[in-house]
Amino acid sequence: MTKILIVDDSKFSQKITSSLVGKNLDDVSFDYADDGEEGLEKFREIRPDYLLIDLLMPKLRGQDLIESVRQIDFDAKIIVVSADVQKRVRDVIEKMGVLSFINKPLNDEKAKTIADIIRKGAQ
């Protein structure tokens, strides 16, 4: 069972992400956090195999969440799914060693990309 934690302040977006990604993977379970702080708590508690993190969030921004997670587990597997498409933002995030930076809105094709990354990692 692959455990995936989705951190996104939009319940709608959580639902889309889990349904699109879940469709392309077998044997996965999803957990959800509504903001960065909750994301950090759930990360400590659940220790997911993968994190799908949004950047624009209240309380703890995605970028800060990634840093905090890295301090706990330097090898944490993180995929960013964000509406922030600025090249400058992307450059900074990619330097933080995330597996991939996916632009919202999520569609089938992008969900497959995420699923492929996760499947490869599981093998």
Partner 1 sequence: MTGKVNREDILKELFNIGVGQAAGTLSEIIDKKIILDVPDVKILNVELGKAELDKFLSQVAEGAVMVSSISFDRQLEGTVSLIFPADKMHQFIDLCLHEDRGEEASMEFTDIDFDTVKEIGNIILNAIIGELSNTVNIPVEYTLPEVNVLNSAKADLFVSDEAYHLVLMMYITFNIEGTHIDGAIVINMTLKSLDDILNTIDKMYDGR
Q: Which residues of this chain interact with partner 1, rule CB under 8 A?
A: 9-16, 18-20, 23, 32, 56-58, 82-89, 104-105
Smaller CB distance to partner 1: residue 40 or 81?
Answer: 81
CA dist 23 and 36 (Å) reads 26
Smaller CB distance to partner 1: residue 14 or 50?
Answer: 14
Contact indicator for 102, 81 with CB cutoff of 8 Å: yes
Compute the least distance from the CB of residue 54 to partner 1, in Å: 9
Run of H or E residues at 42:
helix 36-46
Smaller CB distance to partner 1: residue 23 or 47?
Answer: 23
Contact indicator for 28, 1 with CB cutoff of 8 Å: yes
Distances, alpha carbon 57 to alpha carbons 18, 84, 95, in Å: 18, 11, 20
Compute the least distance from the CB of residue 116 to partner 1, in Å: 20
Compute the least distance from the CB of residue 64 to partner 1, in Å: 13
